[in-house]
């Protein structure tokens, strides 16, 4: 059975997730908000919480047309979570989650 990541490894992965999400364009929320970050998407505000082996997100309002972007989120709950390997989450898994979130960001005018 694989060994669980150490507290130091978990904190390092969470910091890496935070860094990647901030680079994507997420902004930090007020102290006391459960979701540490948020970002505007084509569906409205997306609340984002990086974790030790996950990125958990929830839309402010459940999107009415989830097929608009090709992203694969639950069209009924408004939640969209990325769960990684509990024992050793990888940077590749994190990169895929960030790529999926990027699909729903507004296109910038050229």
* Residue range 58-67, pLDDT digits in tens: 999 988 776 6
Domain of residue 85: give its range. Answer: 7-102
Residue labelled with tokens 């990647």: 20
Please tell me whether residue 84 adopts helix, strand or coil conformation.
coil
Question: Rounded to the nearest 10 degrees, what angle do helices 91-102 and 7-24 cross at?
Answer: 30
Assess contact for 46 and 81: CB atoms under 8 A: no
Does residue 84 lie within any of the structural domains? Answer: yes
Does residue 107 lie within any of the structural domains? Answer: no
Does residue 108 lie within any of the structural domains? Answer: no
Q: What share of the chain in percent tops pLDDT 90? A: 52
Does residue 2 lie within any of the structural domains? Answer: no
Assess contact for 24 and 13: CB atoms under 8 A: no
Does residue 43 lie within any of the structural domains? Answer: yes
Neighbouring CB atoms inside 10 A of 59's CB total: 20
In angstroms, what CA-CA distances link 105 with 40, 55, 76, 78, 91?
A: 7, 17, 20, 16, 21
Tally the domains of the chain: 1
Average pLDDT of span 79-102? 90
Inform me whether the pLDDT recorded for 55 exceeds 90.
Answer: yes
Average pLDDT of span 69-74? 68
Assess contact for 5 and 53: CB atoms under 8 A: yes
């Amino acid at each position: 059975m694989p060994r669980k990541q150490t507290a130091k490894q978990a904190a390092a992965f969470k910091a890496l997730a935070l860094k990647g999400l901030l680079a994507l364009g997420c902004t930090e929320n007020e102290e006391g908000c459960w979701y540490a970050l948020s970002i505007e998407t084509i569906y409205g505000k997306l609340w984002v919480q990086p974790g030790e082996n996950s990125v958990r997100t929830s839309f402010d309002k459940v999107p009415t047309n989830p097929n608009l972007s090709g992203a694969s989120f639950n069209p009924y709950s408004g939640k969209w979570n990325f769960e990684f390997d509990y024992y050793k989450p990888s940077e590749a898994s994190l990169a895929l989650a960030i790529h999926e979130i990027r699909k729903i960001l507004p296109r910038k005018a050229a």
